[in-house]
Structure 1
Amino acid sequence: MIRRIEDIKERIKCGRAVVLTQPEISRMLEERGEVSLKDVDVVTTATRAVMSGTYAVLSFPLAAPGSFIRASSARINGVPAWPGPCPNERLGMIDLMVYGTSHSISRPEYGGGHLFRELVEGGEARVEAESEDGKVIERSIRLEEIPYARIFSTRNAFKNYVAFVNPRSLPLKSIFSRIEFPPHLAAATVSGCGQINPVKNDPYLETIGIGTRILLNGAQGFVVGTGTRSLPTRPNLLGLADMHQMDPEYMGGFLTSAGPECIGSWAVPIPVLNETILNAILQQDRDIPLTIMDVNVRQKIGKSSYGDVWDSVDLRVRFDPERCRGCSVCTAEPVCPMRAILIEDGRVMRDEERCFNCGLCVSQCSGGAFQGRLGAIHLGERTIPIQLRQSDRARAMKLAERLKEEILDGSFGLTEMVERP
């Protein structure tokens, strides 16, 4: 049985389509023992993770026409920004590209990802630019004053990722850990949302291609193709969306021991066109390989499965302020990658909206105020506890549910790709 996207779109329009999130169809499989093409029309998938390959393109008036010739360099809140190819000679306009992984020259724990979220939240940013004729131009700006603001990706939404461990004898600073990576295989960090990840559910990109409509950080956008370092065995995606429509909950900066990184979130609808796609959708975490890499050299040293990461664990980290011992120096607060742990008037608090559910606080809090089962990976006979998750499956599931609702209420329309990537 093979179906067409046009047929599914008509079923949605008539209110007869069955749209399920990937977790919902997995539960259906557990309850029934089998699922057929007749049971579902569209499955919504999602991922939220640290996504380094992210940048923004911003274009806005910087000063009055004629006030400078053209910009040669710029910074926004201290984050380096690169003037675009269009010179905008004497127009007073500036086009800038800002990398999500760029670090502020004055605030080492602030980067492009933090800037993107603050702009979407409505915050004011300080722009400093230098022109080719030696002038320094400064102004404060909000997103509403930036007519063109798009998030692009060079590579996002890998078909899952890997686990990292440090088998060496010395600790190591890495973008894959907030604290120094402990030696002697003492802990692991992981990334990838497992069975709900978009490309895992359409591994041959039969429905995801150039022109596929998606949610990127909550805003409707489009797939442009596959990204850099994309391989048939390990594809990733390139996409874009308008920052003005984004939801700050799904984006931001993520601190690592090697500096700030950038968070991105994707939700992708998968029209269930054939048995190949359905079989991929029904694949569970325990069936999805997880490569284990030596973080020192980025080489494979073993293999586990995403069942170790996401089966029988807590997707959300719990915080019980009653268990807080009131330590003279809180050990969890300074290492939180999201700065979501706060101390006010001597009391430890957590910003629930900013929490990434990474779980690092669980191992760093001596009093047990932060709790959660994070799982462990298996390397031969060795069981290695997961110390840090760089994917937030709880919010990815929330975004998949949001996409489902938008499809059903008609505010999100499925598109058929114009070309396979």
Structure 2
Amino acid sequence: MHPSQSVQPEAHVSEEHVVNKTLDSINERIRKGKAVVLTAEEMTKAVSEMGKVEAAKEVDVVTTGTFSPMCSSGMLFNIGQRGESMRVSQMTVNDVPAYAGIAAVDCYLGATETSLDDPLNKVYPGEFKYGGGHVIEDLVRGRSVHITASSYGTDCYPRRSLELDVTLEDLPFAQLLNPRNGYQNYNVAVNLDDKIIYTYMGPLKPGVRNANFATAGCLSPLFNDPLFKTIGLGTKIFLGGGVGWVLGPGTQHNPSPPRTERGVPTRPAGTMMVRGEMKNMDGRFLRGVSMLGYGCSLAVGLGVPIPVLNEEIAWYTGVSDEDIIMPVKDYGEDYPKGSPRVLAEVSYADLKSGQIELMGKKVQTVPMTSYMLSLEVAETLKSWILEKGFTLTAPQELLPSS
């Protein structure tokens, strides 16, 4: 069977379950300090060595992690009323525009919004070195940012202008609110054109001289729960170095792509909408990103704990880099036209090796995701469970699976 053929993944694990844990029993083991917790990388080895049934008996939780640019991210915040009341209609933070069309002094700052007065853009149009993602990182790192706000004025909100410097601690409300994070699989980007192009996947050399990819492989959260059996509204997660929550499916959530026998999608698939309190976050896991010739973004550290309730979930969390098949697409001509062809399919293991064979030649691979920091996210989440009693939450509504 070709790896991208659509199958019924459950057929591979349809034998009668001999392990049947509950979330309550796992949390009780966490509270008593008896839980067995493995990172997703460790679980891959465990399932390979002992099989899914024994792994399900032994392991209670698998921690996942990814650290990658996630453009669909941003900050929902409130600056509070400062003396005379104001209903903000326009705002900038460190010269980066924020959306103020919400109410009074509520605003949303997108990670990809760019500075109005970026000196690099004046020299090289279309290139930016500072944007919304950098503002978010600055705030989380305790730095002061400069806010300017204006209003048309009303009887109840007479103030027309405001200018002040604030830190994160000065803001009465500041939440990371990301509409689309943690993509379950994504494109490998190449360029068939005869000139270099600059994309959200980084610079792509002409003539297919590099292949850029973005995922954490076997560590990636949604590869470890490919059919969304444990993740949904109310799932407690690691987000930006602090505690966050899944709000539901992210924008562009596509639960129905072709899948391998292990349930792994072979095309861009599921996503999550997430939020978390910024005052508890860590700048190590939230980094402003500037992409040459494209713009700005935010690299986000995201980790989801997967409860090993039965051997089916153990089987899914045993996913390896070799199991993950990714589509190669041309960003030189096909992607801009909106219907990119799949030029080939390659495994994450091959991409991770540093080169792949494509169109008859060896091509250098370039990761957009930091595997080292992805592993650090998974290991940090593991330590929270083992040392701080971080318990798991039951989703009130699972991510859509069809």
Fold match (TM-score > 0.5): yes
1:103-252 alignment, distance < 5 Å: 103-107=114-118, 108-133=128-153, 135-177=160-202, 179=203, 181-232=204-255, 233=257, 234-252=269-287
Segment drifting more, 97-106 vs 403-412: 403-412
1:52-71 alignment, distance < 5 Å: 52-61=71-80, 63-66=82-85, 69-71=86-88
1:324-343 alignment, distance < 5 Å: none
2:92 pairs with 56, 75, 87, which one?
A: 75
Contact between 1:304 and 1:379, CA under 8 Å: does it hold in 2? Answer: no
Q: 1:308-363: CA deviations, max 9, x gaps?
A: 123xx5xxxxxxxxxxxxxxxxxxxxxxxxxxxxxxxxxxxxxxxxxxxxxxxxxx
Flag the 1:275–1:26 CA change in 2: closer, same or farther, 3 A: same
Q: Distance between the aligned counterparts of 1:160 and 1:113, measured in 2?
A: 23
Q: What amino acid is the match of 1:282?
A: G
Partner of 1:13: 31
Q: 1:236-284: CA deviations, max 9, x gaps?
A: 1111000000010011121212111211111110001122221111121
Q: What displacement does 1:65 show? A: 2.4
Q: Distance between the aligned counterparts of 1:292 and 1:265, measured in 2?
A: 25
Flag the 1:381–1:29 CA change in 2: closer, same or farther, 3 A: farther
Q: Distance between the aligned counterparts of 1:121 and 1:24, measured in 2?
A: 32
Structure of greater relative contact order (alpha carbons < 8 Å, 6+ residues apart): 2
Q: What displacement does 1:31 show? A: 5.3
Q: Which runs of 5+ in 1 are unaligned?
A: 89-93, 314-374
Q: What displacement does 1:42 show? A: 0.5
Q: Does 2:280 align with 1:261?
A: no
Q: Secondary structure at the match of 1:262?
A: strand
Q: Does 2:388 align with 1:413?
A: no
Q: Secondary structure at the match of 2:206?
A: coil
Q: What amino acid is the match of 2:20?
A: I
Q: What amino acid is the match of 2:216?
A: C
Segment drifting more, 401-410 vs 111-120: 401-410
Q: Does 2:396 align with 1:385?
A: no
Segment drifting more, 407-416 vs 181-190: 407-416
Q: Secondary structure at the match of 1:229?
A: coil
Flag the 1:172–1:59 CA change in 2: closer, same or farther, 3 A: same
Q: Secondary structure at the match of 2:279?
A: helix
Q: Secondary structure at the match of 1:2?
A: coil
Partner of 1:22: 40
Contact between 1:292 and 1:301, CA under 8 Å: does it hold in 2? Answer: yes
Partner of 2:14: none
Q: What displacement does 1:63 show? A: 2.8
2:324 pairs with 277, 283, 288, which one?
A: 288
Q: Distance between the aligned counterparts of 2:270 and 2:72, measured in 1?
A: 14
Contact between 1:303 and 1:379, CA under 8 Å: does it hold in 2? Answer: no
Contact between 1:59 and 1:96, CA under 8 Å: does it hold in 2? Answer: yes
Contact between 2:46 and 2:55, CA under 8 Å: does it hold in 1? Answer: no
Q: Distance between the aligned counterparts of 1:76 and 1:396, measured in 2?
A: 29
Q: What amino acid is the match of 2:214?
A: S
Q: Distance between the aligned counterparts of 2:225 and 2:50, measured in 1?
A: 23
1:271 pairs with 288, 291, 307, which one?
A: 307
Question: Aligned-residue CA RMSD in angstroms?
Answer: 1.7
Q: Distance between the aligned counterparts of 1:376 and 1:62, measured in 2?
A: 55
Contact between 1:47 and 1:198, CA under 8 Å: does it hold in 2? Answer: yes
Contact between 2:30 and 2:391, CA under 8 Å: does it hold in 1? Answer: no
% identity of equivalent residues: 31
Q: 1:106-140: CA deviations, max 9, x gaps?
A: 12310111110110001000001111139332111
Q: Distance between the aligned counterparts of 1:382 and 1:287, measured in 2?
A: 23
Q: Distance between the aligned counterparts of 1:170 and 1:248, measured in 2?
A: 36
Q: What displacement does 1:73 show? A: 0.4
Q: TM-score, length-normalised on structure 2? A: 0.83
Q: TM-score, length-normalised on structure 1? A: 0.79
Q: Which runs of 5+ in 2 are unaligned?
A: 1-18, 119-127, 154-158, 258-268
Q: What displacement does 1:36 show? A: 2.7
Q: What amino acid is the match of 2:355?
A: A
Q: Distance between the aligned counterparts of 2:281 and 2:362, measured in 1?
A: 40
Contact between 2:48 and 2:318, CA under 8 Å: does it hold in 1? Answer: no
Q: Distance between the aligned counterparts of 1:241 and 1:61, measured in 2?
A: 19
Q: Distance between the aligned counterparts of 1:281 and 1:103, measured in 2?
A: 38
